[in-house]
Amino acid sequence: MRPRVGIIGNSYLLNDNYPVHAGGTMSSEAIAEVSDCLPLMIPADPRFVSVEELLHNCDGFLLTGGRPNVHPNEYGETETEAHGAFDRARDAITLPLVRACVERGQPFLGICRGFQEVNVAMGGSLYPEIRDLPGRMNHRMPPDGTIEEKFALRHVVSFPKEGVFAQLFGADQVMTNTLHGQGIKEPGHRIVIEGTAPDGTPEAIYVKDAPGFTLAVQWHPEYQAPTDPVSRPLFEAFGAAVHAWATTR
């Protein structure tokens, strides 16, 4: 039996009136085909699941991207129009889930919003719109175009030569896509920022001295993960950590 990876779902309105929990097929593909784990979609809402149940039933977690943002109340700031839409139910699940995984050594991989959740869970804060900051580029997804154009490689991410990510990728620079509006303002307790974009925006982090796999990236490595030379080693390493955790249960 393959180890089980809980994929954090997002709340949407299908056809503008039918509420659903959903996740991208490419996330399931990355977990099943590259990490060699069983992908399980999680309805991230405390009405339906608890953190304790998730920790018991899953071996690892994929903290996915999503259009709604972490609510600024979670990092001590006041909501503004620039902060965009929110998913308070997801906040209520993922933030304590991250902290529990860090303590237990249970592996997770954070992507985009998931990257931001890891920082906030550890006490960090976020900028509501980094393209409005002096000297920053627009990291948002292009509003038009094909899926290939929206997920196209758009900028370099640089890493310290002896760091965790450089060792993982076998390089101190990689090209990535970029589809996010918010970004790290203040890093959380024990958050190590290793990857940065050319404009200084944090792109890759992990939790210092955590007993398990805690890597998170601001880009979307799930896109073409089975064949992409950057995405594949990231999901392979995550899968190895999940398999290792499962053998200890």
Q: Which two tokens stand for residue 168?
A: 């993982």
* 21 is an active site residue: no
Contacts of 244 (CB under 8 A, 6+ apart): none
Q: What is the pLDDT of residue 38?
A: 98
Residues, the chain, total? 249
Gap between the Cα atoms of 184 and 189, Å rounded: 13
Q: What is the pLDDT of residue 36?
A: 98
Helix (H, G, I), strand (E, B) or coil at 218: coil
Asked whether the beta carbons of 195 and 204 are under 8 A apart, the reply is yes
Residue 205, CA atoms < 13 Å, CB-side half-sphere:
28
Q: What is the pLDDT of residue 82?
A: 79
Helix (H, G, I), strand (E, B) or coil at 249: coil
Angle between helix 88-104 and 113-121 (nearest 10): 60
Asked whether the beta carbons of 157 and 174 are under 8 A apart, the reply is yes
Q: Which two tokens stand for residue 43?
A: 């309805």
List average pLDDT for each run of 10 residues in the chain, which is 249 residues long. 96 88 94 98 97 98 93 92 87 98 98 97 95 89 87 94 96 95 96 97 98 97 96 98 95
| Catalytic hit among 74, 129, 194, 222 | 222
Q: What is the pLDDT of residue 144?
A: 82
| Catalytic hit among 37, 58, 101, 112 | 112
Helix (H) or strand (E) holding 217: strand 216-217
Residue indicated by tokens 């991230």? 44
Q: What is the pLDDT of residue 141?
A: 82
* 112 is an active site residue: yes
Q: What is the pLDDT of residue 142?
A: 82
Q: Which two tokens stand for residue 56?
A: 């018991």
Q: What is the pTM of this model?
A: 0.96
| Catalytic hit among 71, 83, 180, 220 | 220
